[in-house]
Amino acid sequence: MKFLAGENIPELLEKLSLLSEVWAPRELRGSGGTVMFERWRSGDPLDLEHFASLSAKDMVLPRTEKLFGFSYAFGGAAVGNPFGAPAESAGGIPATAGESIRITAAEPAGNVVLFGARACDAKALTVLDALFDQTDGKGYNDPQYRARRAGLTVITLACVTSDPACFCSSFENGTAEKAGSDLILYPVDGGFLAEAVTPKGETVIESGVNSRNKVGSARGPGDSDPETGEAASGLTLFEESALETPVLAVTAKVEGLEGLRQKLAAIFDDLEFWQAETEKCISCGYCTYACPTCHCFNIHDEMRGDREGVRLRSWDACMFHLYTQETSGHNPRPTLAHRYRNRINHKFSYYPENQGEILCTGCGRCIRGCPVGLDIRDVLRQAVECSASPGEGGDR
Amino acid sequence: MSDIVSIIQRVLGDVDLVLGWTATGAGGVAAPARFQTAAEAERAVFNATCVHNLAVHLPRLKDQTVGIVAKGCDSRSVAQLIQEREIDRDRVKVIGVRGLGGSIDVRKIWRFHGYGVPVDARTDSLFIDGKEVDRQEFLRQKCLGCRDMDPVIYDELFEASGSSITGIADAATVETALSETGLGTSLTAAEAMSAAGEDESRPLGELFAKMNSAERRLFWREQYSRCIRCYACREACPMCFCRDVCIMQTTDPHWTGAGVDAGEAEMMQLIRVNHLAGRCTGCGECERACPVGIPLMLLMNKQNQVIEELFGYRAGTDLEARPPLLTFDIKGDSRSEK
């Protein structure tokens, strides 16, 4: 494998930022220690130690994106203006016969390198692909998503440590998951071992051509390959290394997730169960916004004046009352319990059924950041337990 | 003196449910819970990680009689909700907590000691991973300037026997810091922010107070630019009870754009702040719930201070008082034009 010295990371990012936007985690100033993926520019600090509060999903599904712009073009004077006033002052009148609507495409997304994602962040991208990047009719062929996804290179930082909120080991590969990553960096003494998973990842290694003479650069102890001194002389930031990859962290495992779909179906109508699980929830929506796989969005038009505007797509959350509010006033998910039930079912039942992937990668953000200390793992355990003892469950 | 469990069990004789805490929240700290039976109440705890303002649940539980464990600050929210007739005094039993001595900022502990580190946060001492540390260091910022050690209203009293807060004397709070209008300094927003980064114990408000208006604008632009419009600030607020008719999400009229950028976020926050004028009790839940760490209490504290100066009113401190900005009095004393 290749070795990348920790001190060379800024130089690598600078090289990458010549051709792409680079996003990397850093602590935000004045935020009380909040770490987020932010646009990296030369000289910006990095925080590769703490876990980012929000996921990296806005690389492919931005908080807000312009889908297209539109404007009404006049076919003739005063057409569609029943009041006879000058067309400019006709308040909010939609295009009618004689008018046409001009659509302007959104600017194409550029290339992005995401540096410092974790395995759970990267895996989440493939989970989203199952919905947004499909041409076989099972999901959607979402052009904006696909363009962003195609232009995205993911450099993942392998987890050698974890915290009690992590639970990726509940899923197939845990911290060793490679799906979604283009290049994986394994922390070792003095730097990282780099493993290219995809051709994009190989491109990153190739782009690490070193312009400076690296002889005598500081190396970590234990890396005494006599070749490296020469190999590093002015060629590349990535040097050949015989180091072993480190032992990765093993995170918490939620048992009984197999067949959870049937178990959730068994307690679907047990509203008391869902009420009990959500009694402390304040439906703030943090869990959905921080989640790397939650992808609900809203589409809305923002007008500038009466005659032109943009159609935007923005994040939305199923934990909000308005999310399923119908025009008639009826709301099929009137209470928090209904909404949370949907959230859990969507993640562990509907999405696996429709898209073949569990809509969760065990990143633990919804647990770590919940203002009322709600732990999704407890809910899953209770669901398993409750459905396992139908007599008791039926009484709830 | 009664322990919290027996007080809750006693109150359960009069109400449908009691809002309190159990010790079983994520990360091993207290989390809000509802108790409906004496057996359930056996799980109740009270410690310095009971940071949540449970009054946020009251407007959602109007069809039930509710008991609520309320710290001094939380009791102000209960009182203000009663003043606004959002909830009925007769249907709420308040278990006031007296002499807590401040609650603990668990996120600060997690930040320096790792998420989920064992925390024993008593009301008079603090142990992290079994070692006693200076409790004062991990107090919530808002507790340092506490003026509400005693609950405003209560039906039962729980004595928390907490340690005294030594920060009160110098009152290094945002509220006082903001009172020094520091126009004309050469401190830029960025400099102020990096200074804050160097010394986390220094209240942001102190630095903020040194900025001139252009610098403040820069400062807030930077803060708002990371807002993701998740509305956690609103949902966590006990006084934001409009729920599904909130101005932020109405489409007709379309008061705020739904796009996510610093300008829209600024508009949204300024509207929210204004809607809380004379209503905000300073509980800080908005700031605590903010996933991207926007210091919302800088805005709230400033406004609360102005309201106090103008009207001599602190929200939720007097059940009989009429909230100044909820009163339309055509011949009111405050109007010079009759």
Using one digit for the tens of pLDDT, what is the confidence trace for B15-41? 999 999 999 888 889 999 999 999 999
Q: Does residue B287 lie within any of the structural domains? A: no
Judged by CB atoms closer than 8 Å, whether chains meet at B231 and A285 is answered as: yes
Is 80 exceeded by the pLDDT of residue B203? no
| Closest Cβ opposite residue B56 in set A32, A282, A290 | A282
Q: How far is CA A304 from the centre of its chain?
A: 31
Q: Residue A233 above 60 pLDDT?
A: no
Number of Cβ within 10 Å of residue A144's Cβ equals: 19
Chain A hits for B30, Cβ within 8 Å: 373
Name residues 63-102 of chain B within 8 A of A (Cβ): none
pLDDT number for residue B70 = 97
Taking contacts as CB-CB distances below 8 angstroms, the residues of chain B near A275 are none
Return the minimum-mean-pLDDT range out of A72-81, A147-156, A214-223, B79-88. Answer: A214-223
Task: Decide if A54 and B27 are in contact by the 8 Å CB cutoff.
Answer: no
**Which site among B40, B228, B246, B247 would you substitute to test the A interface, given the most A Cβ atoms closer than 10 Å to its Cβ?**
B228
Nearest to B280 by CA among B65, B81, B19: B81
DSSP notation for A245-308: PPPPP-----TT-TTHHHHHHHTTT-HHHHHHHTTT-----HHHHH-SS---EEEEEEEETTTE
The DSSP annotation for A126-142 comes to HHHHHHHB-SSSSS-B-
Task: Give the Cα separation of A102 and B280 in Å (integer).
Answer: 47
How far apart are alpha carbons B42 and B47 in whole angstroms?
15
At residue A11 the predicted structure's pLDDT band, cuts being 50, 70 and 90, is very high
Q: Could you tell me the two tokens for B90?
A: 């007769």
Evaluate whether A302 touches A312 at the Cβ level (below 8 Å). Answer: yes
Q: Does A284 touch chain B (CB under 8 A)?
A: yes
Q: What is the pLDDT of residues A29-42, one digit of tens each?
A: 767 778 999 999 99
Q: Look at residue A349 in the predicted model and tell me its pLDDT.
A: 93
Residue type at A160 in one-letter notation: V
What are the pLDDT digits (tens) for A92-150?
A: 445 555 667 889 988 888 999 999 999 999 999 999 999 999 888 788 999 999 999 99
Tens of pLDDT, residue by residue over A340-363, are 999 999 999 999 999 999 999 999
pLDDT of residue A76: 44
Structure confidence at residue B260 as a pLDDT band (50, 70, 90): confident
Average pLDDT of span A208-212: 60
Collect all residues of chain A within an 8 Å Cβ-Cβ radius of residue B26. Answer: 165, 367-368, 370, 373-375
> Searching chain A, which residue's CA lies closest to the CA of residue B232?
A284
Q: What is the pLDDT of residue B180?
A: 32
Tell me what pLDDT residue B215 has.
79
Residues contacting B252, CB < 8 A, separation 6+: none
Determine which helix (DSSP H) or strand (DSSP E) holds B88, and give its type and residue range: none
Q: Which of A162-166, A320-324, A371-375 has the lowest mean pLDDT?
A: A320-324
Classify residue A347 by its DSSP letter: I
Residue B116 lies in domain: 1-168
Give A102→chain B minimum CA distance, Å. Answer: 21
**Residue A298 sits at the chain B interface (C-beta within 8 Å):** yes
Q: Does A29 touch chain B (CB under 8 A)?
A: yes
Q: How much is the pLDDT for B108?
A: 85
* Alpha carbon of A249: minimum distance to chain B alpha carbons (Å): 15
Q: Where are the domains of chain A?
A: 2-61+107-240, 260-395
pLDDT band at B166 (very low <50, low <70, confident <90, very high): low
For residues A130 and A214, the answer to whether their CB atoms sit within 8 Å is no
CB A178, CB A126: distance < 8 Å: no
Is it the case that residue A47 has pLDDT exceeding 70?
A: yes
Interface of B with A in 200-219 (CB under 8 A): 200, 204, 219
* One-letter amino acid of A10: P
Question: Could you tell me if residue B116 is left (phi over 0), alpha (psi between -120 and 50 degrees) or otherwise beta?
Answer: left
* Amino acid A374: pLDDT: 94
Nearest to A317 among B34, B194, B230 (CB): B230
Which of A137, A120, A119, A139 lies closest to A129, judged by CA? A139
pLDDT surpasses 50 at B199: no
CA distance B231 to B285: 12
How near does any CA of chain B get to the CA of A215, in Å? 35
Residue of chain B with shortest Cα separation from A336? B60
Joined together, the tokens standing for residue B140 give 């919530």
Please report which confidence band the pLDDT of residue A75 belongs to, taking 50, 70 and 90 as the band edges: low
pLDDT at A9: 94
- Residue B34 to residue A279, Cβ atoms within 8 A: yes
How confident is the model at residue B201, as a pLDDT? 43
Mean of the pLDDT values across residues A72-81? 52
C-alpha span between A211 and A282 (Å, rounded): 54
Give how far A307 is from chain B: nearest CA, Å.
16
Provide the domain count of chain B.
1
Type of residue found at A210: N
Tell me if chain A has a CB within 8 Å of the CB of B29. Answer: yes
What is the average per-residue pLDDT within B296-310? 88
**Residues in chain B closer than 8 A to A50 (CB atoms):** 111
Phi, psi of B199 (to 5 degrees): -135, 90
pLDDT at B167 over 70: no
The two structure tokens encoding residue B153: 């209203």
**Which of A288, A321, A372 is facing B32, going by the closest CB pair?**
A372
A-chain CB neighbours of B25 within 8 Å are: 372-375
Q: Is any Cβ of chain B less than 8 angstroms from the Cβ of A337?
A: no
* Mutation for B interface: A272, A278, A286, A325, most B CBs within 10 A: A286
What residues of chain B lie within 8 A of the CB of A39, using their CB?
none
User: Given the DSSP bridges, would you call strands B92-98 and B156-159 parallel, antiparallel or unpaired?
Assistant: parallel
pLDDT tens digits, residue range A51-73?
A: 899 999 999 999 999 999 999 87
User: Does residue B78 form part of some domain?
Assistant: yes
Which neighbouring-strand residues pair with B18? B35, B67
The DSSP symbol for A349 reads I
Q: Which of A35, A41, A278, A282 to mutate to test the interface with B (most CBs of B within 10 A)?
A: A282
Closest Cα in chain A, distance from residue B260 (Å): 6
d(CA B19, CA B57): 8
Averaged pLDDT for residues B179-190? 35
Interface probe, candidates A23, A284, A328, chain B, greatest B C-beta count within 10 A: A284
The answer on pLDDT for A336 being more than 80 is yes
Mean pLDDT over each residue of chain A, to the nearest integer: 84
ipTM score over 0.90, yes or no: no
B258 CB neighbours in chain A (<8 A) are: 64, 298, 300, 302, 312, 314
Say which of A279, A286, A302 has its CB closest to residue B230. Answer: A286
Looking at residues B132-160, what average pLDDT do you find?
88
What local confidence, expressed as pLDDT, does residue B336 receive?
55
B267 in contact with chain A, both atoms CB, cutoff 8 A: no
- The answer, for A259 touching chain B at a CB cutoff of 8 Å, is no
pLDDT above 70 covers what percent of chain A?
84
Q: Is the pLDDT of residue A396 over 90?
A: no
pLDDT band at B255 (very low <50, low <70, confident <90, very high): confident
Please tell me whether residue B167 adopts helix, strand or coil conformation: helix
Closest CA of chain B from A233, distance in Å: 37
Tens-digit pLDDT profile for residues A182-192: 999 999 999 99
What is the rounded average pLDDT of the residues B177-187? 33
Q: Do B243 and A321 touch (CB under 8 A)?
A: yes
| Helix, strand, coil percent content, chain A, rounded in steps of 5 | 30, 20, 50
The residue of chain A nearest to residue B257, with distances taken between CA atoms, is A302
Reduced DSSP (H G I as helix, E B as strand, rest coil) percent helix, strand, coil of chain B, to 5:
40, 10, 45
Q: Which residues of B touch A371 (CB under 8 A)?
A: 52, 232, 236, 285, 288-289
Q: What is the mean pLDDT of residues B150-174?
A: 70
pTM: 0.84
| pLDDT in the model for residue B92 | 97
pLDDT digits (tens, 9 = 90+) for A295-310: 999 998 888 888 899 9
Report the C-alpha gap between B117 and B136 in whole angstroms: 18
Pinpoint the alpha helices (H) of chain A: 9-16, 119-132, 143-150, 199-207, 228-231, 260-266, 271-277, 286-290, 336-345, 351-355, 365-368, 376-388, 390-395
State the Cα–Cα distance between residues A281 and B31, nearest whole angstrom: 10
Distances A102 to A311, A317, B213 between C-alpha atoms, Å: 13, 31, 42
Report yes or no: B235 at the A interface, CB cutoff 8 Å. Answer: yes
The pLDDT assigned to B334 comes to 54
Residues 6+ apart with CB under 8 A from A86: none
Taken as a whole, chain B contains a residue count of 338
User: Average per-residue pLDDT in chain B?
Assistant: 82
Interface membership of A383 toward B (CB under 8 Å): no
Cβ pair B129, A179 in contact under 8 A: no
Question: Could you report the per-residue pLDDT of A303-335, keeping only the tens digit for each?
Answer: 888 889 999 999 999 988 888 888 898 999 999
Q: What is the CA radius of gyration of chain B?
A: 20
N-terminal to C-terminal alpha carbon distance within chain B: 54
A335 interfacial to chain B (CB closer than 8 Å): no
Strands across the sheet containing B156-159: B31-35, B17-22, B66-70, B92-98, B156-159
Q: Sign of the CA dihedral A364, A366, A371, A375? A: negative
